[in-house]
Structure 1
Amino acid sequence: MTSQTIDRSHDLSQPLDRLSADERMKDASDYLRGTIKQGLLDRITGAVPSADDVKLMKFHGIYQQDDRDVRDERRRQKLEPAFQFMIRVRLPGGVCTPAQWLKLDELARAHGGRTLRITTRQTFQFHWVLKDSLRPIIQGLHETLLDTVAACGDDSRGVMCTVDPQSSRFHAEVAAMAKRVSDHVIPRTRAYHEIWYGDERVASSESEEPFYGRTYMPRKFKIGFALPPSNDIDVYAQDLGFIAIGGPEGLEGFNVAIGGGMGRTDQAPETYPRLASVIGFIPADRMIACADAVMTVQRDYGDRKDRARARFKYTIDDKGLGWIKAEIERVMGAPFEEARPYAFTSNGDSFGWNETPDGRLHRTVTIQNGRLDLKLLDAFRDIAHIHRGTFRMTPNQNVIIAGVRPEDRAAIDAVLAEHGLEEESVSPIRRNAIACVALPTCGLAMAESERYLPGLLDKVEAMLARHGLSEEPITVRMSGCPNGCSRPYIAEIGFTGRAPGKYNLYLGGGFHGERLNRMIRENVGEGVILEVLDEVLGRYARERQPGERFGDFTIRAGIVREVTEGRYFND
């Protein structure tokens, strides 16, 4: 980020020894180097031995995990856990070329258990990666100009952008801005190049991180660009959201939304999800300055003592939205203008073939919960050999084959048909459902998500058919824990895992991602879930008004109370 921004990462309200252990760990990490390089050489264990290095590797886009399906058995056999790693790719706006897709496919088959995951933030994750395969994957990505820098950790995460090319005539311009912001906000440390590419270390100084300093951000920071009428990125779930505003001459600028975030902790009412607040409009040429200013305010005032309340949403609620806005304006050197009118009509994907004014064709393919198994890898490898446009990962875990030349459509259709990927077989509720990976790899998961949701939806689909609602689109989100990676707290029907087979059930979110939902049942199993949904969906079928969305109905009918602000979510 801009070197003109004053680095206040050490000018904190408390001495370093009174801050959290993670803050002290970052400060002592030598700009994210730690002892990662040495740990990779340890052949006694499949893990990285240092707990601090495990945390530092997140800044490099890598999570250490283990196979939880065999954890107990390995413990009984007195074996260490079946350690493996997840690698997350930095993919601004979710766009990749056919050549990049083919490299991802090659690496997944060789080192990632012959599978890939499309995440809820428009990128790829490799799972089942062994320690010796970390460098081959990262170096292989580098060959096609991809990397994993800042895909995780206390920094600015991957930047999202609406991917539907029909959503705006200035889509390409905004997508380019998302890429520009992503490149602008990543850490500048050379640790990544030294550890993974084998570069020699050069003389460094305190200026190695001109913006982040030695302690980076208090917690992760998420940025996204939305192009109305599509809110596919769930812009109100971002720490910093840019809502594109156009005029007769094209892109004019952005409404700025700040303070969104989904994470919370069960039984901790001081933690809660929050929707971002729109604070004003900026011209397009002030976008980078605005991003710098917003991140600066969170860097300098975010809570570095209590990580549970270190996200930007808590900084805003603790300091007050007006104070935060004024501080952003001061750092930016300019005031916000009044927010411009805009409207969202969907946060889902467009399916079937669509054509844009440039004569190019676009086809969205449903990828259930983002899981690209070997069958799907085979299909998309065949398509990548035909396709001359781009692939776009959607925030709903699907893939758009974008920019297809008309003469290539028949060949792509033939591949999709050969692999059973015709869109007619996918129900509306399944098209509007997403899930996090959860078990067996995620260390935070308390319950199943990706592996469980498809079977649950089989039963919900039968229920919808009984009530005459089979064609009704309803958003469903499931997470294996309360951290909310699949953004469950803004779904019309949301689930968060509490224990194996047990979930919190939420109803009443907005179909366009504009309203939080509310818990209706806590820590319940499938029987109670289906009983509640059957009753509420039955009422919806009988009592709904013309055009009324399911989430709106649950509020109007008094089934759940509306949540007006995140801090009242747990009331």
Structure 2
Amino acid sequence: MAKQLTETELIKSEGRFLRGGIIEGLADDATGAISQKDSKLTKFHGVYMQDDRDLRDERRRQKLEPWHYFMVRLRLPGGGVTPSRYLELDQIAGNYANGTLRMTTRQTFQFHEVSKKNLPLLMKRVAALELDTRGACGDVNRNVISGVNPYQSPLHATVHQLACAISNRLCWRSAAYAEIWLDKECVYQVGIDEEPFYGHRYLPRKFKIAIAIPPQNDCDVLANDIGLIAIFEEGKLQGFNVAVGGGMGMTYGDTGTYPQLATVAGFVPEEQIVDACEAIAAIQRDFGDRSNRAHARFKYTIDDRGMDWFGKQFAHYHGQSMMAAKPFVLNSNGDRFGWVEGHDGHFHLTLYIHSGRIADTENRQLRTALRQIAMLHQGEFRLTCNQNLMIANISPQHRPVIEQLVAKYRLDDGSGKPALRLNAIACVALPTCGLAMAEAERYLPRFLQKMEEIITAVGLPEQLINIRISGCPNGCARPYLGEIALIGKAIGKYNLYLGADFSGQRLNRLYLENVDEATILAGLKPLIEKFASERGQNEKFGDFLVRSGIVEAERNSAMMHSALKKTDH
């Protein structure tokens, strides 16, 4: 007996290849919203309908509908824009959104608080830049992240090109995008398939791909449905170890859901990797659970059937089996801040951006500063997977000018202060995210201040610790890979997770459940003190907690690749 499809599956099936009633909903000026059905389809277009949750109660008392607006996310594989495009995006944010750009953990920009009236105007402006938002959300392949600077070396450039090629191969094709946002004539015909790969139901859930170049793991490569780990010899790319079945999300109260790191399945040569990613996505398309969305991610498809099953399916879909995985080492994640010289004598400057939010505040004129830099810079702006910004490909002649602007606007004001903030990530959470149970972005500064007081008191202000805060268990901030992670349970209450490693290869474990700030800090303070007095040379906080028996090491199938760690490339 066939399983009943979820509501979302039915909406996709009946949505005429992502058209639904979106055009009619946008034209209805009696409300700031669109229908819930259409809001599920606009996600495929990179558009989330939201409302200001800070205003919900007051508007309810006034018998007004929620204050609706939209978040728009770009598809930006590899996370790079030219300075001229950046200036245009900044202007779009000022004219049609809330005046800020926000960099995400998936290496792209989001616009926030876009009204329904402004939404089509914003989308047209984005399209005029030869950019789009297709697949930035929804049950399709999401933004492909590579976390690498293509100007660093020819190897990095090749990896970036492959990230773009994979993104383009798996981008959805329906003419709905042009019809809804660019005023093109409707071409929909019953019985005509507009999606040669996805079909009319697309994927069962979102699908994420990341690429890492060892020994750096700046994109948390194993947290993705497909994690590609570059294998190279003497600076030449040979291909990729392919890890499958990673994912950060879970659902409270549902023990059948869990975060998981991807398992290394084998090796694929460079020239086959785009086809291989398409084959793996097709396996999830055809076998993923469409009757239970909580069980629909690729990790559950594999866990239900096993890696042997996956290997056979890959050989069938791809036309040949994977080769045996190659040795590799991942030893760090996060970003390298400050100046770095590339292979060609050009320079790259990575700046810390709190929670990825580009805005002018009383204390820091960040938006103004980056606008000034963009007017002079002749290279590129690159977004990292940790919500920071790299000013890339700066010529030696232009470096002094950039340095002057950095000093003028105090963009390097994190130097000399505790280092905890440098590896801190938070999702947006309240007031805009409808799933958030607690604060994240707005709470991060306060939490960091409290933690900096503790770590400075024990004499470790320069100690790097991965800190992640997520407003809910869905995992947008990759919280299960934090050495210290807070995951929202209710307003002011979090689950405290501890013990991930510093390289993104070990998940953390639940340490305290449903606790407030005072309890969290009271629990962390003696652990930090113990770490300061008993840590080994160069030992990281998460590793210390595991070695000391404070937290049991969390292992899953992803650790199968650890036996391959023999060669540091």
Pairwise same-fold verdict (TM > 0.5): yes
CA contact (8 A) 2:264 2:558 kept: no
Partner of 1:4: none
Q: Which amino acid aligns with 2:518?
A: G
Partner of 2:12: 26
Counterparts of residues 396-545 of structure 1 (less than 5 Å): 396-422=386-412, 423-425=414-416, 427-545=418-536
Cα deviation digits, residues 12-57 of structure 1 (max 9, x gap): x837xx2111111100000000000000000110001x21101000
Structure 2 residue 80 is the aligned partner of structure 1 residue 89: no
Could you tell me which of 238, 250, 261 is aligned with 2:247? 261
Counterparts of residues 5-16 of structure 1 (less than 5 Å): 14=2
- When structure 1 is superposed on structure 2, of 168-177 and 191-200 the one drifting more is 168-177
Cα deviation digits, residues 273-326 of structure 1 (max 9, x gap): 000000111110111121111011111111000000000001111011111122
Cα 1:57/1:566, change in 2 over 3 Å? farther
Q: What CA distance in whole angstroms lies between the structure 2 residues aligned with 1:38 and 1:425?
A: 55
Partner of 1:7: none
Q: CA deviation at 1:66?
A: 0.5
Could you tell me which of 132, 136, 148 is aligned with 1:151? 136
Counterparts of residues 266-415 of structure 1 (less than 5 Å): 266-374=252-360, 375-415=365-405
Cα deviation digits, residues 500-520 of structure 1 (max 9, x gap): 100000000010100000010
Q: Which amino acid aligns with 1:14?
A: A
Q: CA deviation at 1:166?
A: 7.8
Cα 1:185/1:63, change in 2 over 3 Å? same
Cα 1:177/1:567, change in 2 over 3 Å? closer
Q: What CA distance in whole angstroms lies between the structure 1 residues aligned with 2:151 and 2:131?
A: 26
Q: What CA distance in whole angstroms lies between the structure 2 residues aligned with 1:266 and 1:459?
A: 27
1:63 alignment partner, SS class: strand
Cα deviation digits, residues 75-118 of structure 1 (max 9, x gap): 11111111011000111011111111011100011111111110
Counterparts of residues 152-301 of structure 1 (less than 5 Å): 152-164=137-149, 169-202=154-187, 204=189, 205-248=191-234, 250-301=236-287
Q: What CA distance in whole angstroms lies between the structure 2 residues aligned with 1:460 and 1:164?
A: 31
Could you tell me which of 93, 115, 119 is aligned with 1:108? 93
Q: What CA distance in whole angstroms lies between the structure 2 residues aligned with 1:548 and 1:254?
A: 29
Q: Which amino acid aligns with 1:200?
A: E
Regions of 4+ moved over 3 Å: 164-169, 203-206
Partner of 1:142: 127
Q: What CA distance in whole angstroms lies between the structure 2 residues aligned with 1:202 and 1:297?
A: 30
Q: CA deviation at 1:266?
A: 1.2
Q: CA deviation at 1:359?
A: 1.0
Partner of 1:9: none
CA contact (8 A) 1:164 1:349 kept: no
Q: CA deviation at 1:567?
A: 11
Cα deviation digits, residues 548-569 of structure 1 (max 9, x gap): 111011111111111112799x
Q: What CA distance in whole angstroms lies between the structure 2 residues aligned with 1:329 and 1:430?
A: 44
Q: CA deviation at 1:249?
A: 6.4
Counterparts of residues 9-88 of structure 1 (less than 5 Å): 14=2, 18-48=4-34, 50-88=35-73
Q: Which amino acid aligns with 1:494?
A: A
Q: Which amino acid aligns with 2:316?
A: R
Q: What CA distance in whole angstroms lies between the structure 2 residues aligned with 1:433 and 1:188?
A: 36
Q: Which amino acid aligns with 1:308?
A: A
Q: CA deviation at 1:370?
A: 0.5
Cα 1:168/1:513, change in 2 over 3 Å? farther
Q: CA deviation at 1:202?
A: 2.7
Q: What CA distance in whole angstroms lies between the structure 2 residues aligned with 1:249 and 1:506?
A: 38
Partner of 1:10: none
Q: Which amino acid aligns with 2:320?
A: A
Could you tell me which of 546, 558, 567 is aligned with 1:555? 546
5+ residue gaps, structure 2: 560-569
Q: What percentage of residue pairs aligned between the two structures are identical?
A: 50
Q: What CA distance in whole angstroms lies between the structure 2 residues aligned with 1:213 and 1:259?
A: 22
5+ residue gaps, structure 1: 1-12
Cα 1:81/1:249, change in 2 over 3 Å? closer
Partner of 2:564: none
Q: CA deviation at 1:405?
A: 1.0
1:280 alignment partner, SS class: strand
CA contact (8 A) 2:150 2:160 kept: no
Aligned residues: 553
Q: What CA distance in whole angstroms lies between the structure 2 residues aligned with 1:306 and 1:566?
A: 23
Q: Which amino acid aligns with 2:21?
A: T
Q: CA deviation at 1:167?
A: 6.6
Cα deviation digits, residues 53-83 of structure 1 (max 9, x gap): 0100000000000011111111111111110
Cα 1:412/1:567, change in 2 over 3 Å? closer
Cα 1:567/1:518, change in 2 over 3 Å? farther
Q: Which amino acid aligns with 2:382?
A: R
